[in-house]
């Protein structure tokens, strides 16, 4: 995709991760709702990653629920990507 093109989000899922528990789905939607999720993420400098197959699986998780264990590895890669983009390091485990 060139810099001049913009892609309309048809599906978006937002996750919250506190470093203590499994990530939770905090927003999910298609079309206009997806566009609003992406707009708000950009407005708040939240890193975005496009992964349609993963988003489709996460969209099946109820809002506020933790992601299923089967998706831990895939979501861990997304979280690592977000940490890397923001220059942060994961919280220390004791």
Residue ranges per structural domain of the chain: 11-86
- Please state, in angstroms and rounded to a whole number, the distance separating the CA atoms of residues 22 and 86: 20
27: exposed, middle or buried (C-beta count within 10 Å: 0-12, 13-18, 19+)? middle
- pTM of the predicted model, to two decimals? 0.80
Mean pLDDT within 64-93:
86
Mean pLDDT within 45-59:
93
Q: How confident is the model at residue 27 (pLDDT cuts 50, 70, 90)?
A: very high
Residue 7: predicted pLDDT: 61
54 within 8 A of 2, measured Cβ to Cβ:
no
Pick the CATH number of 11-86 from 3.40.50.2300, 1.25.40.80, 3.40.1690.10, 3.30.70.20: 3.40.1690.10
38 within 8 A of 30, measured Cβ to Cβ:
no
Residue 28: predicted pLDDT: 97
Q: How confident is the model at residue 86 (pLDDT cuts 50, 70, 90)?
A: confident
């Amino acid at each position: 995709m060139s810099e001049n093109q913009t892609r309309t989000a048809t599906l978006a899922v937002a996750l919250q991760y506190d470093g203590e528990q499994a990530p939770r789905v905090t927003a999910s939607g298609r079309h206009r709702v997806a566009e609003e999720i992406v707009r708000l993420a950009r407005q708040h400098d939240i890193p975005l990653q496009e992964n349609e197959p993963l988003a489709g699986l996460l969209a099946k998780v109820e809002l506020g629920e933790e992601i299923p264990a089967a998706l831990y590895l895939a979501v861990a890669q997304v979280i690592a990507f977000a940490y890397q983009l923001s220059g942060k390091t994961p919280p220390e485990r004791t």
